[in-house]
Structure 1
Amino acid sequence: MAFQINIDNGGTLTDVCIMSDGGVQKTKVLTTPYDLSKCFFEGLQKASEVVYGAADVKRLLEEVDLIRYSTTQGTNAICERKGPKLGLVLDTASNALPAALRAHDPEVYDALVGGRVAFIDTATLSSDAAEVDVVKVINQLTATGANRLVVCFGGNDFHAAEDRVKKIALRKYPRHLLGAVPVLYASDLTSDRDPDRRAWSALINSFLHPSMEAFLYNAENRLRAYRTKNPLLIFRNDGDASRVAKTVAIKTYSSGPRGGMEGVKTFSALYGFRDTVSIDVGGTTTDIGQCTEGRVAEIRRGHVEGISVSFPLCEIISAGAGGSSIFRVVDGKITIGPESVGALPGPACFGRGGKEATITDASLLSGLFDPVSYFGGGMGLDMARAEAAVMANIAGPLGVDLDTALNAMSDAFEAKVAEELHRFTTISSDTVMMAFGGAGPLNACGVAEKAGIRRVAVPAMAAVFSAYGIGSCDVSQRYAVSLDGRDDVSLQAAIATLTTKATRDMFAEGFEPGSYAIATQLVAQTATGEVSHPLTEGAGFPAALADARAVELELSAIKSLRQGETRHVGISRRSAAKAAGQRKVLVPGQGRIDLPVYQLGQMGAGDFAKGPAILEEDYFTCRVPAGWGFVVSDAGDVILDREA
């Protein structure tokens, strides 16, 4: 029996989705931030228990066809500003660049770089003084606390100038020395001629690189010990995957949320939704996206925290509000995040030493969670610790009782997510909101109500939806190089060089020439902006781009694994759903009252009910307020509608 395993690593929980001929199965484990390879293999162990009924990782890895991995670690690191201290080396002609970079986002710039900036006169790099200048700059930055350096020069010959610095640095600080500081040269990462984008791309990549590299190579090495036949594939923000050695850190930014958006595209096609906004609520962030007419927003020069970078990225916004985000009272008002308690210590109710108040604690105390069945029955929750955290951090500072504080926390959380939805998406009367992630369905109706949305869709696989979404991604390698010659010979020579690289890299992915598609295009900087020009096989250099300020050749090698979705899923009410029990829940304006609890696993297609109620699945809970009703679709998903 062959399997595909998709793993989505979040800040608090790691989701595992197992796909086989027999269907789709899922499980979750707590993220271990001190060693991500630990939760990676714990996820594989639980997956083997789900598949075989007992732990047998060796057998699972012998039978698995593909292992795909996505992560929100990069998103969380940027959001929480947790990473190495960077030093930035610029040329003296770019003395205005630090101010320009900081203007994009002062908070992110100060967290990554701050005052750790030094300059080199590129005119001296060919002289005897070059070594002294380079050594002086490196020593200056490391003395101020920089533990990674980024070199980014301007001008038309920035690549050559950075190469000269690289040779000196390698000679004076050989990589085999223990004290050698890692240096990233921006031209090695991208040939983008825009200095702002190139510098920010290099800074963000350097910031994310250490933690991603340490985990991914550790995980890959442990997989080799089991003689896994295929390499670990890393899902990227561009929607495709590749092996670890051919993935740059910046492309893993928001790769987990991008997996969710792949699922949103498929889900929207199944149900005929033309305009879908999504909230993917994890432990640290709520990731927001939009799918219109079957397409997710992706731009060639993507954004990280609103900062333009050199690579194509999906337009996903990460708001610092999740199930483990810290609630505080500041100046008499509740604030949420961006700091998170993560998986360790986690929310106070996890009983792992956490003392901060989170929406998870508030939901438990409001009666939304069953402390026994939470997390599929795999984690008991501590109500006393949760109450102590909410009383100390919210009720006490506000001067209110516990129930008032709980309602205020829920209202603040919903309002913040609704505000972020309006900030980053366009909402119309036809908009459907998809809610997924472990905490996505919980307050989905409240968020939708505050955002003016009347329909909410909760996939049956909501708890592991990002892991589910990466299951059909393609395997690809993408390249870009500056094209100096504006003639047919130069163009064909550059295509031949990149094709050779692609052939080698795709062979390492396990694909022979002819089994994948090659696509090329030219991207030119013109007086009117950036222009893309697709190329056909054997095409010459287009005359229309002869006078462009700069031209890049892009080549993609893509092994297609996606399958088009042609089914349509029906939604119809057939029979009233039967409640599995009751639970006393805090309801705004009504106090604590008994509400029916519906178990998704016990309902069939067409079952329906009205709120107020609780809808549960092993790994998610959905509050159905008064004025809302739900129906189970033919595919087992949940569609919630607000009554007129």
Structure 2
Amino acid sequence: MTRDLRVGVDIGGTFTDIVVMDPAAGTTSTYKVLSTPEDPSLGMLQGIDELGIAQRIEYLVHGTTAGLNALLSRSGERTALITTTGFHDVLRLRRAGNDNIWSLRAKNVTSVVADKDVRTVRERVRFDGTVETPLDADDVRQAAQWLHAEEISTVAVCLLHAHRNPAHEVELRDRLLELLPDLSVVLSHEVSPEQGEYERTSTTVATAYVARTVDRYLTNLVAQLRERGCTAPLQVMRSSGGVCSAELVARQPIQTILSGPAGGVVAAETLARGLGRPNLIAIDMGGTSSDVSLVVDGAMTLNNEGEIADHVMRMPVVELHTIGAGGGSIARAEAGGLRVGPKSAGADPGPACYGLGGKEPTVTDAQVLLGRLDPDWFLGGRMTLDVVAAERAMATVGDELGLDAVETAEGILAVANAKMANAIRTLTLRRGVDPRDFTLVAFGGAGPLHSVALAEELGIEEIVIPYAMGVLSAWGMLHADVRHDVSLPLTGRLGDADARAAMASALEQLRGRGRVLLEQEGVASGDRHYAASVDMRYVGQEHAINVALDDLADGDEDLAAAFHETYGRHFGHAMPESPLELVNARLSATGRVGATLADRDEALAEKSDETTRRVRVAGQDWDARIVRRDTIGGDSQIPGPLVVQEDGSTTLVPDGWSVRRGSFGALIITQQKELLS
């Protein structure tokens, strides 16, 4: 059998999305199945079985929530931390500050490593990498005995200044494995070789905590795929917006934490370039949550640090703002008002209208009652929604607030829209960015139903609803390239000859490491690309800013000017008279493996007899036209109110807005009469 299909799979809280590309035929098809929270791989395998494509898969990329779920639910392996004497409380102290300046009390955060599971050893490496106190062999032996007695099989090691000199971490690991061969040991200098004891420790313990969970999940999934005749190597989406083989991702499983949402960000970046709209606000609304991201000047935005489940992760992550507002978000009455989320009905039992036992009202139930979803044609007719069950669920909250079912449904959507609009403001207005300069891209199973309401709230004039928007994260994964990020610490001030030489040496080492990783991924030399950057800061400051290093031949003055410009863009001012110091050298090694964005040239479906349905929008009932997406051509501009239906999602176009088909099968919704091409 010919192996010719490229398949992307994204497992969400409610649905598992599958995208199948057939390059030879030039077709792309989509499929959805309910997720299986007890074992996320079951839903993925079910979808592949129902499609009957296992033996035809040539390229398979997967977004996994195994690591994230382990962190959120605290269901990972019991993990011990071994650190330097005197640093027992590093996880408890965190950054010794209060994230909420308006609160008189700091948030009480519980680490995945219990305080009783932290051990210390006598050793000391100084800030410059020189050894002050050798590693104490008796302390290591006692730690091993304790681990054996406590039956702890996973340990994170984070010793002081190990990012400068990892010799003691390596020695400690080797001695532990001599005594406990089955022990899983994660070293901080391999996970996050950067300064910052708390950040490095937090990243290391989170990695150790999810390591075995992710490894078991991927190993079992690969075995199940092989039983079905799928021999394609499994690629895994990473939080950085790149993909990596399942074998290599097992070394740093924590980098799969934002695996699914990262696919949506890659999709937004791909669309920005293809549609000629360099500035996009992307809102991905699924069944459990909504993710907001930005594409600026055609590129997604990345951070070198993220905080997830109360753990700081020092690693490259796509910049996202996530809120608990999805199609399955549960509404409740609280303190005399209406609240929505973050608790979700998920896939089991799901919203009340699914008829699977859900009793509480959700955003999806509200959409059904307001006529925006066709109860007889959900998921392309593969699922029928129970309107009566949705009404009963609404009454559980509406009766408490003195509202009828329709009023309750309208209130639920208003609250959900307000939460999403505020999430967009967090990434735009609060940073001095005007959302009116952006196009809104709405996707996910629920996103297009809320897109116009969000645009009206924020003053955005154009909305793009991409093809396959109900499964766009999975689609984006198929357009992602192999990516590996490596880093090394730096010291010294910019302008110092020794510091400059050290930076050049570090970048050369990083390029060598990146080249080896791409070779292991099988990326051809002509498809490899390397992008260097440095973290810098003003002398006396704590936090650094990353500055791209386009050419090693660039002088220190050019690098300083780039830093001042970046600093000013972030904070509104710069201090060009202040000296600068180097903190880290970074390099991203990427390999071109993603699909090329291709226009969709399929023939329009034959227009069927037009129907209408009563739809309530902004407190008014409308007789909205019901159209299939594949009947909308590029030469027609259809005014609202109308509902656009397709297999994976539904789009609402209210009165005063129009829709037409644009490039790459995207729908363009605008208030203007003359639409952009």
* 2:186 pairs with 1:184: yes
* Paired amino acid for 1:608: Q
SS at match of 2:650: strand
Per-residue deviation, residues 38-62 of structure 1 (Å, max 9, x unmatched): 122222234xx4xxxxx3533x23x
From 645, 650, 654, the counterpart of 1:625: 654
1:280–1:287: 8 Å Cα contact kept in structure 2? Answer: yes
* Paired amino acid for 2:472: F
Query: Could you say if the C-alpha distance between residues 580 and 212 of structure 1 is closer, same or farther in structure 2, counting changes exceeding 3 Å?
Result: farther
* Paired amino acid for 1:640: I
* Residue 57 of structure 1: aligned partner: 54
From 619, 637, 640, the counterpart of 1:611: 640
Relative to structure 2, which stretch is displaced further, 607-616 or 164-173? 164-173
* Residue 559 of structure 1: aligned partner: 591
From 322, 327, 344, the counterpart of 1:323: 327
1:609–1:629: 8 Å Cα contact kept in structure 2? Answer: yes
SS at match of 1:184: strand
Per-residue deviation, residues 353-412 of structure 1 (Å, max 9, x unmatched): 3223211122122222222210111122222332232222x2133232111111111111
Query: Could you say if the C-alpha distance between residues 433 and 83 of structure 1 is closer, same or farther in structure 2, counting changes exceeding 3 Å?
Result: farther
* 1:414 Cα deviation from its structure 2 partner: 0.7
From 349, 354, 359, the counterpart of 2:353: 349
1:327–1:357: 8 Å Cα contact kept in structure 2? Answer: yes
Query: Could you say if the C-alpha distance between residues 102 and 221 of structure 1 is closer, same or farther in structure 2, counting changes exceeding 3 Å?
Result: farther
* Residue 159 of structure 2: aligned partner: 153
* 1:279 Cα deviation from its structure 2 partner: 0.4
* 2:420 pairs with 1:417: yes
* 2:615 pairs with 1:585: yes
In structure 1, what is the Cα distance between the partners aligned to 2:598 and 2:467? 19
SS at match of 2:476: helix
Query: Could you say if the C-alpha distance between residues 549 and 291 of structure 1 is closer, same or farther in structure 2, counting changes exceeding 3 Å?
Result: closer
* Paired amino acid for 2:407: T
CA RMSD of aligned residues (A): 4.0
Relative to structure 2, which stretch is displaced further, 290-299 or 119-128? 119-128
From 500, 504, 510, the counterpart of 2:522: 510
* Residue 667 of structure 2: aligned partner: 638
2:482–2:590: 8 Å Cα contact kept in structure 1? Answer: yes
* Residue 8 of structure 1: aligned partner: 10
Per-residue deviation, residues 234-283 of structure 1 (Å, max 9, x unmatched): 12222221111111222222232222222212222333324211100011
In structure 2, what is the Cα distance between the partners aligned to 1:614 and 1:588? 15
Query: Could you say if the C-alpha distance between residues 158 and 508 of structure 1 is closer, same or farther in structure 2, counting changes exceeding 3 Å?
Result: closer
From 93, 110, 115, the counterpart of 2:86: 93
* 2:211 pairs with 1:205: no
SS at match of 2:94: helix
* 2:405 pairs with 1:402: yes
In structure 2, what is the Cα distance between the partners aligned to 1:219 and 1:90? 34
* Residue 387 of structure 1: aligned partner: 391
* 1:436 Cα deviation from its structure 2 partner: 0.3
* Residue 284 of structure 1: aligned partner: 288
* Residue 359 of structure 1: aligned partner: 363
* Residue 452 of structure 1: aligned partner: 459
* 1:233 Cα deviation from its structure 2 partner: 0.8
2:54–2:229: 8 Å Cα contact kept in structure 1? Answer: no
In structure 2, what is the Cα distance between the partners aligned to 1:544 and 1:450? 41
* 1:507 Cα deviation from its structure 2 partner: 4.5
Per-residue deviation, residues 105-160 of structure 1 (Å, max 9, x unmatched): 676932645755635152498446414652587589x69xx986533333466734
* Residue 574 of structure 1: aligned partner: none
Relative to structure 2, which stretch is displaced further, 288-297 or 603-612? 603-612
1:347–1:358: 8 Å Cα contact kept in structure 2? Answer: yes
* 1:164 Cα deviation from its structure 2 partner: 4.6
Gaps of 5+ in 1: 50-54, 570-576
Relative to structure 2, which stretch is displaced further, 519-528 or 469-478? 519-528
In structure 1, what is the Cα distance between the partners aligned to 2:95 and 2:146? 20
Per-residue deviation, residues 7-38 of structure 1 (Å, max 9, x unmatched): 12211111111122322211111111212221
Query: Could you say if the C-alpha distance between residues 231 and 78 of structure 1 is closer, same or farther in structure 2, counting changes exceeding 3 Å?
Result: same
Relative to structure 2, which stretch is displaced further, 66-75 or 319-328? 66-75
Count of paired positions: 613
* 2:122 pairs with 1:122: yes
* Residue 170 of structure 1: aligned partner: 177
In structure 1, what is the Cα distance between the partners aligned to 2:392 and 2:313? 44
Gaps of 5+ in 2: 100-105, 124-132, 493-497, 560-578, 602-606
* Paired amino acid for 1:517: R
In structure 2, what is the Cα distance between the partners aligned to 1:462 and 1:531? 33
Query: Could you say if the C-alpha distance between residues 276 and 557 of structure 1 is closer, same or farther in structure 2, counting changes exceeding 3 Å?
Result: closer
* Residue 564 of structure 2: aligned partner: none
In structure 2, what is the Cα distance between the partners aligned to 1:395 and 1:78? 35
* 2:449 pairs with 1:442: yes
1:457–1:640: 8 Å Cα contact kept in structure 2? Answer: yes
* Paired amino acid for 2:120: I
Query: Could you say if the C-alpha distance between residues 306 and 400 of structure 1 is closer, same or farther in structure 2, counting changes exceeding 3 Å?
Result: same
In structure 1, what is the Cα distance between the partners aligned to 2:205 and 2:617? 47
* Residue 52 of structure 1: aligned partner: none
* 2:457 pairs with 1:463: no
In structure 1, what is the Cα distance between the partners aligned to 2:300 and 2:500? 35
In structure 2, what is the Cα distance between the partners aligned to 1:276 and 1:520? 23
Q: Give the TM-score normalised by structure 1.
A: 0.82
From 112, 134, 138, the counterpart of 2:143: 134
In structure 2, what is the Cα distance between the partners aligned to 1:254 and 1:108? 24
* Paired amino acid for 2:590: I
Per-residue deviation, residues 425-458 of structure 1 (Å, max 9, x unmatched): 2334322111001111011111222233232211
In structure 1, what is the Cα distance between the partners aligned to 2:111 and 2:361? 25
In structure 1, what is the Cα distance between the partners aligned to 2:532 and 2:437? 36
In structure 1, what is the Cα distance between the partners aligned to 2:170 and 2:139? 13
* Paired amino acid for 2:521: E
* 1:163 Cα deviation from its structure 2 partner: 3.7
In structure 1, what is the Cα distance between the partners aligned to 2:213 and 2:141? 32
SS at match of 1:17: strand
From 624, 630, 641, the counterpart of 1:595: 624
In structure 1, what is the Cα distance between the partners aligned to 2:245 and 2:483? 10
* Paired amino acid for 1:232: L
* Residue 572 of structure 1: aligned partner: none
* Paired amino acid for 2:86: A
In structure 2, what is the Cα distance between the partners aligned to 1:164 and 1:550? 29
* Residue 573 of structure 1: aligned partner: none
1:435–1:457: 8 Å Cα contact kept in structure 2? Answer: yes
Query: Could you say if the C-alpha distance between residues 504 and 565 of structure 1 is closer, same or farther in structure 2, counting changes exceeding 3 Å?
Result: closer
Query: Could you say if the C-alpha distance between residues 104 and 91 of structure 1 is closer, same or farther in structure 2, counting changes exceeding 3 Å?
Result: farther
In structure 2, what is the Cα distance between the partners aligned to 1:357 and 1:45? 33
Query: Could you say if the C-alpha distance between residues 131 and 516 of structure 1 is closer, same or farther in structure 2, counting changes exceeding 3 Å?
Result: same
Query: Could you say if the C-alpha distance between residues 544 and 387 of structure 1 is closer, same or farther in structure 2, counting changes exceeding 3 Å?
Result: closer
Query: Could you say if the C-alpha distance between residues 33 and 564 of structure 1 is closer, same or farther in structure 2, counting changes exceeding 3 Å?
Result: closer
1:524–1:548: 8 Å Cα contact kept in structure 2? Answer: no
In structure 1, what is the Cα distance between the partners aligned to 2:631 and 2:68? 36
* Paired amino acid for 1:110: T
In structure 1, what is the Cα distance between the partners aligned to 2:134 and 2:339? 51
In structure 1, what is the Cα distance between the partners aligned to 2:533 and 2:646? 49
Q: Alignment identity in percent?
A: 26
* Paired amino acid for 1:67: L
Query: Could you say if the C-alpha distance between residues 526 and 366 of structure 1 is closer, same or farther in structure 2, counting changes exceeding 3 Å?
Result: closer
Per-residue deviation, residues 184-224 of structure 1 (Å, max 9, x unmatched): 33233121122122122224334544443332221112233
* 1:466 Cα deviation from its structure 2 partner: 1.4
